[in-house]
Amino acid sequence: MKLVLAIYPGSFDPVTNGHLDLIERGAKLFDRLVVAVLQNLEKDPLFTVPERVEMLREVTRPWANVEVDVFGGLLVEYARHRNAQVLLRGIRAISDYEYELQMALMNRKMEPRIETVFMMPSETYSYLSSRLVREIARLGGPLHGLVPQIVEERIRAKVT
């Protein structure tokens, strides 16, 4: 029997219902799933990294084998350090598909023992991205159905 640890990396600024859909699918498939927030220096974030981690912990509480963590530097080094075998990425018809493959090939070049595995979120979320959510939030548009309830409330508190 194999014990597979998978890492689901991203900015999660903020976590969307599309991310959550993928987390649920990954949690069913892998023994342990680490949602890993990239500590990068974005120009104009909506939430700080600690805020994102807190919201992710809140919304992933239903899955006992899901953990939230933060990483900086190279993803493959973090994955090696965690003894992960898998990098999990979402893939959609409407998406930066080619960029995903490019990153996956580069990561394999740097660490051939770690595999990138792609899963599809529900087609209901094919239009959804954190960037779009941030845009709509800033313009005061409706976020219902796009992000978890708790994120919606935080955004409203922040923007108002």
Residues numbered 13-42 forming contacts with its own copies, rule: CB under 8 A: 25, 28-31
Which one, 51 or 129, has the nearer CB to its own copies?
Answer: 129
Nearest by Cα to 56 from 35, 81, 71, 76? 35
Report the candidate in 3, 33, 38, 32 with the shortest Cα–Cα distance to residue 20.
33
Contact between 139 and its own copies (CB under 8 A)?
yes
Angle at 13 between CA 130 and CA 145, to 5 degrees: 50
Decide: 133 and 143 in contact? Cβ < 8 Å: yes
Residues with a known catalytic role: 19, 43, 92, 130
Stretch that binds its own copies, among 9-17, 43-51, 92-100, 148-156 (CB under 8 A): 92-100
Is 50 a binding residue for its own copies by CB under 8 A? The answer is no
Q: Which positions touch its own copies (CB under 8 A)?
A: 1-4, 25, 28-31, 73-74, 76-77, 85-86, 91-95, 97-98, 101-106, 108-110, 115-120, 123-124, 126-129, 132, 136, 139-142, 145-146
